[in-house]
Amino acid sequence: MNERLQELSEVGQSVWIDYLSRDIIRSGELQTMIEEGVAGVTSNPTIFQTAISHSSLYDEQLLEVSREKEDPKEIFLELAHQDIRDACDLLMPVFERTNRLDGYVSLEVSPGLAYDTPATFEEATRLHEMVDRPNLMVKIPATLPGLAAIEDMIATGRSINVTLIFSLQRYREVAEAYIRGLQRLVAAGGKPSAVASVASFFISRVDTEADRRLEEIGGHDELKGKLATANAKLAYAEFKEIFSGPDWEFLNSKGATKQRPLWASTSTKNPAYSDVMYVEELVGAETVNTMPSSILEAFVDHGQVDKDALEKGLEDARALIEKLREVGVNYEEVTKTLEKEGVRKFTDSFNELLQGIKDKERHIVYQG
């Protein structure tokens, strides 16, 4: 295992990667990363689009599937679910070794369904059945309609990656939905030990949006590049409070596991900031950091581990939100904007993926 990833593991933080393609599975790259300490994968439509459009690895299957299916979304799912299943199989030893804590692969519900509770539930159920692996997590956005679908999925014993969380209020609502789902599962005689969930808190986009607003106001450079980590630290404090006490202890006694915070969008967007700031400042027990390849490589090269990083500066984090409010940057407006933009960006990426599949299909047929 890589020395720095081992340090994170010893603290209690798991490292996942936020990309998956057939190439890294077949080349052995994913297996090597697992051996180095990577403990999970979240798939990404943009990565799939690039892989399908700019390699020949999918061509034969794409041509075969397109003879039977016309809907590009159905073609994509046929192509992707095998990659997801293969990745699940590669990570199964991690899943078993960690007693279901890690070893997960995430596949997302179509983001265009983010405001449709029944359709989200139906598609999440379908994806679980399609991949048919116990270490699959289906990603559902943390919109208000998404919360009900998340609770319902947990109540049926399905593992869920709750994505696109930006605000503390929404994080609390996500955690409460998870707990309600577990309570329903237990009441129905189900086994909560078979269910896992992560709450994916998006990091860098928070600084990007807050910094943009500070730029418009002018000045206050001392407040830039700080809201994202402050937000995460406050969420971590909420996590520790929510998953403690008699109610949680009862569920835990039945085999339930905590819904761990997952730090997503951890690549630094501003070149003036440290490339590993969203790893080093967010180290803490019972968390996950999912990294793009560039950040994973940077952290392995020169990252530092402070096991108490998430516990430090809580009062400063609370004070920062008030200082930003005083100068005209409203925390609630920032996070509300980011949720709407997040759903839109996810939808745009998914639509680009589907268009890429259409284009590649036409190209293959023409070349043939």
**Residue among 226, 204, 237 at smallest CA distance from 311:** 237
Residue corresponding to tokens 């679980």:
128
Identify whether the C-beta of residue 280 lies closer than 8 Å to the C-beta of residue 304. Answer: yes
**Residue among 11, 334, 364, 324 at smallest CA distance from 168:** 334
Identify whether the C-beta of residue 115 lies closer than 8 Å to the C-beta of residue 149. Answer: no
* 62-70 long-range contacts, CB within 8 A, separation 24+: 62/357, 62/360, 62/361, 62/364, 63/361, 63/364, 63/365, 63/368, 66/361
Can you list the alpha helix ranges (DSSP code H) found in 188-264? 204-217, 227-242, 245-253
Amino acid at 304: Q
Identify whether the C-beta of residue 181 lies closer than 8 Å to the C-beta of residue 154. Answer: yes
> Which three-class secondary structure state does DSSP give residue 43?
coil
What whole-number distance in Å separates Cα of residue 299 and Cα of residue 332? Answer: 31
Give helix then strand counts, H and E, for the chain.
16, 8
What whole-number distance in Å separates Cα of residue 354 and Cα of residue 69? Answer: 13
Identify whether the C-beta of residue 125 lies closer than 8 Å to the C-beta of residue 154. Answer: no
What contacts 77, CB < 8 A, 6 or more positions away? 127, 130
The residues that are catalytic are: 139
Identify whether the C-beta of residue 80 lies closer than 8 Å to the C-beta of residue 58. Answer: no
Taking 3-state DSSP, the helix, strand and coil percentages for the chain, each rounded to the nearest 5, stand at: 60, 10, 25
Q: ∠ CA 357-149-128 to the nearest 5 degrees?
A: 50
What whole-number distance in Å separates Cα of residue 5 and Cα of residue 7? Answer: 5
